[in-house]
Amino acid sequence: MSNGNGKDPMNREATETASGSRTLFDKIWQAHTVESTATDADAGGTASTLSLLGIDLHLVHEVTSPQAFAELDRRGLRVRRPDRTLATMDHSTPTRPEVDRARLRIIDAEAEAQLARLERHCAEHDVPLIPLGDPRQGIVHVMGPELGLTQPGMTIVCGDSHTSTHGAFGALAFGIGTSEVGHVLATQCLLQRRPKTLEVAIRGGLPTGVTAKDLILATIAQIGVAGGTGSVIEYTGQAIRDLDMEGRMSVCNMSIEAGARAGLISPDEKTFQYLEGRPYAPRDAAWPEAVATWRALATDPGAAFDRRVEVDARDLEPMITWGTHPGMALPITATVPRREELSPDQLGAAEKAWAYMDLEPGQKLIGQSVDVVFIGSCTNARLSDLEAAARVLEGKHVAAGLTMLVVPGSQQVKREAEARGLDTIFRAAGAEWREAGCSMCLGMNGDRLAPGQLAVSTTNRNFEGRQGPGSRTMLASPLTAAATAVAGRISDPREVL
C-alpha cells in the first residue's frame, strides 16, 4: 500500500482477512475497503479499525448539501464522480399542489433559495438532479429504491439519517453529516470506523393487523433508543422473509431510531423481483449476472455476529408511542406506564414525557382523542402503506374536528395510488391528498401541527416539537393511523379490519 507524504494519521496496515462464514455486512465491508488500519479504538474507546471505504451511490438533498458544495467550491474542487451521485428535493418542498416555485418565493423565500442553490450546485458540478415537478421526484429514500438505484451489495450514503432504509435491499446504507457529504462529493470515499454487527432475530410470524411498523417499534422498545449504537443491525427470521420489500424498508428505515448505523436484510428472490425492470436496474445479459452476484451476498449459515437479540413476533400487537422518543412505545391495548412500572433510570425521562405529552400515568391509550392524523414519510408513504390506510377508510369518514393529511412518498407512488383510486377514497373520507415530500414528518415546509395538537403519525420520530413547535406526536402504523382518523380517538385497527 502506498503511503502519503509526512505523518499518516490513519496508521494504515495491511489487515486483509477473508475466510469462513461471513455476514452480509462482512461481505460488503470487505469488498468496499480500499485500505484499513491496525485495530485501535473508536471515540468511545471500543477496539475497532478505521477503513477507507469506497462509496457506490451518493444521494443528495437540499438541506444537508449546500455547505458541502460550498466547501468544494472554496477549495476549487469538482464533484469527482457525478455518475455515482444523484440529487433531489424533498425536505423543504411544498406539498400543496397550488404552490409552484414562483409562489414559494413569496411564501417561503428561504426554502426557495435552498432549492435554487441545489439547482445551481448540481448544474455547476454536472450532478444529475431530480427537481421539484419531475415525475420521479419524492422523498430521497422512497425515490432511490423505486428507481432501482438501490441495489444489493452497494455502499450508499446520504446526508440523512434515514438512509438506513436502503438496507432493506442488502445494501450497506448509512447517514452522514455535511462534512462527510463534502468528502464523498470530492473523493467518492469515506473514512469509517468498522461498526459491530447485531443480529435482530425475529421469532415467528406477525399476527393479522400487525405490520412491519409495529415490529420495528416493538424492537426499538425492547432494545432501546441506544441499543444499536455503534452497530449495524441485520434483521433475520421468518417474519422478515415474509415481509414484502416495502415492509422491509419500513423496518430498516427505523434502525437509526435504535441508534444503529444501518439496518440490513439479506437479499432474496423478493428483492430481485422488486428490482427487475426498474429504470436503473441491470438489463439484458447484465441482469442474470447481477442476480447471481447478489444471491451470494446473503449472510452465510453459521456466520457470527458480535451480538444477537431475539424479538418474538408471535404475540405482538399494533404498537403506538406514548412518549417523546421512539423507544417509548407500547402495545395499543396498554396503558401509559405508571411510576411503579418503571426502573429508576427511566423515571426522569418518563416524568418529562408525561408532562410534554399531557398524558396521565395509567391512562388507557385507546380512546385518547387526537387532533391530526398524518400518513406520510420515508417510513410509511409507499403504495402498500396508502393501500392499507385506504382499506380502513373506504366508505367511511374522518371524525368531525380531526384533520387528516395523506402525503405520498413520491410522485410515482402518487400516480400509482391515483390509478388505483386511493385518492378518491381519501378525499371522500375528508382527508387531504398532497404532492410528494417529507411534509409534516419534520414540519420544515410549513405543513405542521399547531402548538399542543396531538397527532398520530406514520413517521419515525416523536421528539418534542418534531412536527412543529409544541406539537405532540404518537407514532403508529398506517392501519392504526387510519382507524384512529375514523374514530377521532386512538383505535385498535384489528377491530375494523
Partner 1 sequence: MTTPRFTRIESSMLPLLREDIDTDQIIPASYLKTTERTGLGQGLFARWREDPAFVLHQPAYQGAGVLLAGRNFGCGSSREHAVWALADHGFRAVISTAFADIFQSNAGKNGLLTITVAPDIHGRLAEAVDADPAARVGIDLETTTLTLPDGDTTNFPVDPFVRTCLLEGVDPLGYLLQRLPDIEAWEQDHPARLDTRQPHDGSFGEPTS
Binding site for ligand SF4 (CB under 6 A): 90-91, 139, 141, 160, 162, 377-378, 438, 441-442, 459-460
463 binds partner 1 (CB under 8 A): yes
Sign of CA dihedral 464, 467, 468, 473: negative
Q: Looking at 138, 230, 247, 409, which residue binds partner 1 (CB under 8 A)?
A: 230
Q: Let me know: does 322 contact 329? Beta carbons within 8 Å.
A: yes
173 contacts which partner out of partner 1, ligand SF4, none, CB within 5 to 8 A by kind? none
DSSP state of 255: G
Nearer Cβ to ligand SF4 (95/459): 459
- CA angle at residue 125 from 121 to 131, to 5 degrees? 50
Min CB(218)–ligand SF4 separation in Å:
20
Kindly tell me the burial class for residue 342, based on how many C-beta atoms sit within 10 Å of its own C-beta (0-12, 13-18, 19 or more): middle
- The closest of 137, 212, 99 to 437, measured between CA atoms, is 137
Min CB(284)–partner 1 separation in Å:
9
Site for partner 1 in 247-306 (CB under 8 A): 259, 261, 279-283, 286, 290
Min CB(367)–partner 1 separation in Å:
28
Binding map of partner 1 across residues 26-55, x = CB under 8 A, - = no contact: -----xx-xx-x--xxxxxx----x-x-x-
Nearby residues of 335 by Cβ (< 8 Å), 6 or more positions away: 362, 363, 364, 365
134 binds partner 1 (CB under 8 A): yes
Spatial distance between the Cα atoms of 137 and 118, rounded to a whole number of angstroms: 14
Size of the site for partner 1 (CB under 8 A): 102
Min CB(424)–ligand SF4 separation in Å:
25
Spatial distance between the Cα atoms of 186 and 274, rounded to a whole number of angstroms: 32
86 contacts which partner out of partner 1, ligand SF4, none, CB within 5 to 8 A by kind? partner 1
Q: How many helices (H) and strands (E) does the chain have?
A: 16, 21
Site for partner 1 in 376-395 (CB under 8 A): none
Min CB(162)–ligand SF4 separation in Å:
5
220 binds partner 1 (CB under 8 A): no
420 binds partner 1 (CB under 8 A): no
Min CB(51)–partner 1 separation in Å:
11
Site for partner 1 in 182-211 (CB under 8 A): 182-183, 186-191, 193, 195
Phi, psi (5° rounding) for residue 93? -85, 145
442 binds partner 1 (CB under 8 A): yes
DSSP state of 37: B
Cell numbers representing residue 220 in the block: 426499538
Spatial distance between the Cα atoms of 175 and 156, rounded to a whole number of angstroms: 9
255 contacts which partner out of ligand SF4, partner 1, none, CB within 5 to 8 A by kind? none
Site for partner 1 in 163-182 (CB under 8 A): 175-180, 182
Strands 155-158 and 129-130: unpaired
Long-range contacts of 245-248 (CB under 8 A, 24+ apart): 245/145, 245/168, 245/169, 245/270, 245/271, 245/274, 246/212, 246/382, 246/383, 246/384, 246/385, 247/211, 247/212, 247/384, 248/168, 248/212
Binding map of partner 1 across residues 346-365, x = CB under 8 A, - = no contact: --xx--x-------------
Nearer Cβ to ligand SF4 (62/160): 160
Nearer Cβ to ligand SF4 (63/185): 63
